[in-house]
Copies of this chain bind each other. A is one copy, B any other.
Amino acid sequence: MNKDSYHHGDLKHALLVGACEMIATEGIQNMSLRKVARKIGVSHNAPYQHFADKEALLAAVAQEGFQRLTDELDTVIERTSTQSCVEQLKACGNTYIKFMMDNSAYLEVMFGPYPYEDYPELAEAGLESLQRLIAVVARGQASGEIKSLNPVEVAGTVWMSLHGLSTILRNGKLPPQLVSERTPTQLASDFLDVIYEGILVQA
């Protein structure tokens, strides 16, 4: 499709990409529909042909983020398939943190305040990512590596720790005594190790 034609051709995709880039470079606070439209070279109302409102576009970006995260988790699980499930779980944690650090735009948007009822496919995409962790945990339980607690519970705990760590990392800085010259990836490893090992003397 001609670039200068009246019809853009793939505006919906261009909006997703443009919004994502703008969030990454200017922060979600400074992202506006009109600026995205301007950047793409389209009128300020064109986006409404593809998204009901600004929130719907953001929710779509978030959904895309979950899908990409799921893909990366699949990749790393595949690549570590010869290792132990615990190693796989650690690799998933590292992948999660690396993904959020490399794609801060998604981080700003994936756990935003979009009511799940209004965006069921977003809820679905989020669940799909979590499912990957649950599967690894379940396999680890079958092979006897991981305690036979509720796998959803275990995966959920890891999931939330990862989410908590990445959102706090985003703020710019953690309390200095928490960071102490470690990279985000190292931090993730160390924090997950605490979970893996348990903190009670008699586990």
Contact = CB atoms under 8 A, between A and B. Distances in A.
Interface of A: 27-29, 86, 108, 111, 113-117, 123, 126-127, 130, 137, 144-147, 149, 152-154, 156-157, 159-165, 167-168, 170-173, 175, 177-178, 190-191, 194-201, 203
Given A115-B171, A160-B165, A164-B167, A196 B194 contact: no
Contacts of A157: 161, 191, 194-195, 199
A117 B154 CA distance: 36
- Report whether over half of chain A's contact residues are helix, strand or loop; otherwise say mixed: helix
Contacts of A178: 130, 152, 156
Contacts of A167: 111, 163-164, 167
Given A117-B172, A191-B153, A201 B127 contact: no
5 interchain residue pairs of minimum CB distance: A198-B198, A203-B203, A164-B164, A160-B164, A163-B164
A55 to B, nearest CB: 8
A172 B116 contact: yes
